[in-house]
Chains A and B, each alone.
Chain A
């Protein structure tokens, strides 16, 4: 059975500092990986995804994530955060051929001015 682990429930970081939000998954088959973001009082939005090809994927607002098959990880990184990045971030996995997403418990990123 697949599962997603986000070990850090809360990550406070100062503005312009780098950040890494960790995500590990377990699955016995090929997976697709996603990061969703939920800004305060808004719905979930897709931030970036890995389906195949290059293991490094990037979003339009400076986030990137790298698929590491051997470590079954898909950590999210940003070299310099902004106040506007304050939000809850969810890692999700979908098994190849399946349609539903399995989500982690989320990491609340708080950017401190």
Chain B
């Protein structure tokens, strides 16, 4: 399967702990996106990379959130000092950047903060 993969699929953590999620995009896709989806809502944009450069960040991305894509391939999203309000599904998507505007989504990482 050459689709977008995300790990872990589920994460339960206690409030105040740090968590890190990983996204592996489709090979050679130079654009990578992170979204957050809460129950009953559509996905909300968090941040966007073109290759290794983080080009855009949403106001939703507080100082406790940081994302990296060090070699322009996989990406990590870290949440420090988690809060209960961080509980959500975190989605990663990649796009080829060829003008297709088609984002391919991974299965997501479900975070539960207790």
B41 and A105 contacting across the interface, CB-CB below 8 Å: yes
B101 and A32 contacting across the interface, CB-CB below 8 Å: yes
Chain B binder among A14-22, A41-49, A73-81: A41-49
- Does B56 lie at the interface of the complex (its beta carbon under 8 Å from any beta carbon of A)? yes
Q: Which residues of B contact A (CB under 8 A)?
A: 4, 31, 33, 35, 40-45, 48, 55-56, 58, 91, 93, 95, 101-108
A36→B40 CA distance, assembly (Å): 15
Total contacts A to B, CB within 8 angstroms?
Answer: 54
Residue of A nearest to B37 (CB): A103
A106→B44 CA distance, assembly (Å): 12
Known: A43-B108, A46-B103. Is A103-B44 also a contact (CB below 8 A)?
A: yes
A45→B43 CA distance, assembly (Å): 13
CB of B32 to closest CB in A, whole Å:
10
A49 and B102 contacting across the interface, CB-CB below 8 Å: yes
CB of B3 to closest CB in A, whole Å:
8
A99 and B44 contacting across the interface, CB-CB below 8 Å: no
On chain A, the residues within 8 Å of B31 by CB distance are 99
B42 and A45 contacting across the interface, CB-CB below 8 Å: no
Cross-chain contact of A102 among B33, B45, B104 (Cβ < 8 A): B45
Cross-chain contact of A43 among B40, B41, B58, B105 (Cβ < 8 A): B105
On chain A, the residues within 8 Å of B95 by CB distance are 99
B101 and A94 contacting across the interface, CB-CB below 8 Å: yes
A108→B4 CA distance, assembly (Å): 24
On chain B, the residues within 8 Å of A94 by CB distance are 101
On chain A, the residues within 8 Å of B40 by CB distance are 9, 105-106
Residue of B nearest to A36 (CB): B105
On chain A, the residues within 8 Å of B104 by CB distance are 46
Residue of B nearest to A106 (CB): B42
B56 and A42 contacting across the interface, CB-CB below 8 Å: no
Cross-chain contact of B43 among A32, A51, A99, A101 (Cβ < 8 A): A101
Residue of A nearest to B31 (CB): A99
